[in-house]
Amino acid sequence: MEAAAPEGAEPGSAGSGAEEPVVSLAEVLAENEELEKEARAVLGGSDHERCSYSQGAVKRQALYACSTCTPPGAEPAGICLACSYECHGTHRLFELYTKRNFRCDCGNSKFKNLQCKLFPEKSKVNSGNKYNDNFYGLYCTCKRPYPDPEDEIPDEMIQCIVCEDWFHGRHLGAVPPESGDFHEMVCQACMNHCHFLWAYASQLAVPPLTKVNSLENEGIVLKVEESEEQKKEIKKESGVEHQDTKEEKQSEQFNEPSTSSGSACPEVVTKSEEPVCKLKELQSKPFVKKDTATFWPSNWRSKLCTCEDCLKMYSDLEVQFLTDECDTVLAYENKGTSDQETERRDPLMDTLNSMNRVQQVELICEYNDLKTELTDYLRRFADEGTVVKREDIQHFFEEFQSRKRRRTNRMQYYCS
């Protein structure tokens, strides 16, 4: 079965010799299912009927910014999924994907002429919310919109898991690995802020494909090998100098990903019985700091140290979420998909399960008849290149019901 061209399309003339692209209904349904799957992943963990304000700062939720209510120059504000439908349905919105620890702003003091329809009793401001240029529709270090009508270079946008800004792959200081090879990214600025991550990067991070050369503005990306001087540019926060080749080899072995906790790490002799700090172990060995973003595998957060000193450091840097694997976007998407799949029920299967065997067979036969006749009916439109209109579908079902009644009447005549 083939889908007809959308209304308003201009079919090519018969004499032009150009064939219109034909898309099968199966392809349309498959694409639609994929889009629905993505939407369930992003929106499934968010409530589309009730404002999330009553939940406080939500751990992670889908967010939007309203350019109509808070244009550039006004204070930035974010709204939840339900408010984007109910209170801002006709407004110009920026989709922010998901953000952590955010409380819905809809209708508060940042909105001068709008009251939230779902939860009007809000505080004037949400002091715990964090905002960036994304709330004005600008992204990356280049501060450009996405999609950017002036940018002709195809590029993937990647979200930093610390600041939650989105970046062009070419503006990260290194060419990202293939998308399936890493799960999270920390941008250059956040690596400078969370300097302790460089000690983990040597052991856990996924290496980038190449380094971006300064000729990037000319559209040239070069694969550059590290020089010997760069390899010797090793930073050690413990102050111990790197001396000989033997220590280099030990460092290389240490930097290889381990399959068990501490199995590839040298033994550390401590004077007390206190738990060993993983970070101090890593910092006691050579590691390189670079001015680039870093890319991380799916389980890297579980490898971060959670000793008392490190937890205090995370708190001081306001990155406590790094040790929470449920904070990840992947965890949020998986929960949303799981919740949606649980809630989704197939009405046809529900109906079939409520019937006896004879009724099930009759219903399946009716369904097959409808499918066959509708396929034949729509094929005529596809062959002629004409648009299927609402009245055409109404006419089909009227004729289908009429034929069904005639068949039923004949059966009653023969049975009487």
Give bridge partners of residue 100 from the DSSP assignment: 60
β-bridge partners, 99: 61
Examine residue 21 and say whether the peptide bond preceding it is cis (omega within 30 degrees of 0). no
Q: How far apart are CA 242 and CA 238, in angstroms?
A: 11
Which residues lie closer than 8 Å to 156 by C-beta, 6 or more apart? 168, 169, 176, 179
Query: pLDDT tens digits for 109-162?
Result: 999 989 999 999 999 999 999 999 999 999 999 999 998 999 998 899 999 999
Cα(306)–Cα(324) distance, integer angstroms? 11
The tokens of 189 are what? 């600025």
Q: Where are the alpha helices (DSSP H) in 144-209?
A: 188-193, 197-204
pLDDT tens, 340-387?
A: 555 555 566 667 777 887 887 887 888 888 888 888 888 888 887 777
Assign residue 239 a region (left: φ > 0; alpha: ψ between -120 and 50; beta: otherwise): left
- What average pLDDT does the structure give for the chain? 78
Q: How far apart are CA 344 and CA 40, in angstroms?
A: 11
Cα–Cα distance list, 92 to 83, 88, 329, 378 (Å): 13, 8, 25, 37
* Pick from 290, 62, 61: nearest CA to 197: 290
Radius of gyration of the chain (CA): 30
Whole-angstrom Cα distance, residue 114 to residue 117?
Answer: 9
Closest CA to 77 of 41, 34, 114, 36: 114
Phi then psi for 31, rounded to 5 degrees?
Answer: -65, -40
Closest CA to 67 of 78, 56, 58, 57: 78
For residue 279, the tally of other CB atoms under 10 A from its CB is: 19
Q: Where are the beta strands (DSSP E) in 278-396?
A: 294-296
Residue 221's Cβ-side half-sphere holds a number of Cα atoms within 13 Å equal to: 13
Would you state the pLDDT for residue 64?
A: 96
99 compared with 9, residue with greater pLDDT: 99
Question: Per residue in 200-259, pLDDT tens?
Answer: 999 999 999 855 444 344 333 433 334 344 344 434 433 444 444 444 444 444 444 443
- Report how far residue 101's alpha carbon sits from residue 56's, in angstroms, rounded to the nearest whole number: 9
pLDDT surpassing 90 at residue 403: no
Give yes or no for residue 67 having a pLDDT over 80: yes
Q: What is the per-residue pLDDT for 48?
A: 86
What pLDDT does 78 receive?
Answer: 98
Residue 100, H or E segment: strand 93-102
Local structure of 24: helix, strand or coil: strand
Window from 42-51, 177-186, 228-237, 339-348 with minimum mean pLDDT: 228-237
Residue (of 285, 224, 292) closest to 256 by Cα position: 285
**Local structure of 205: helix, strand or coil:** coil
User: Distance between CA atoms of 195 and 237, rounded to whole angstroms?
Assistant: 11
Question: What element of type H or E holds 166?
Answer: strand 166-168
| Helix (H) and strand (E) counts in the chain | 12, 9
Asked whether the beta carbons of 187 and 163 are under 8 A apart, the reply is yes
Q: pTM for this structure?
A: 0.62
Length of the chain counted residue by residue: 416
Q: Which residues contact 288 (CB under 8 A, 6 or more apart)?
A: 198, 202, 231, 233, 234, 235
Q: What is the pLDDT of residue 217?
A: 42
C-beta separation of 41 from 336 below 8 A: yes
How is residue 219 annotated by DSSP?
Answer: T
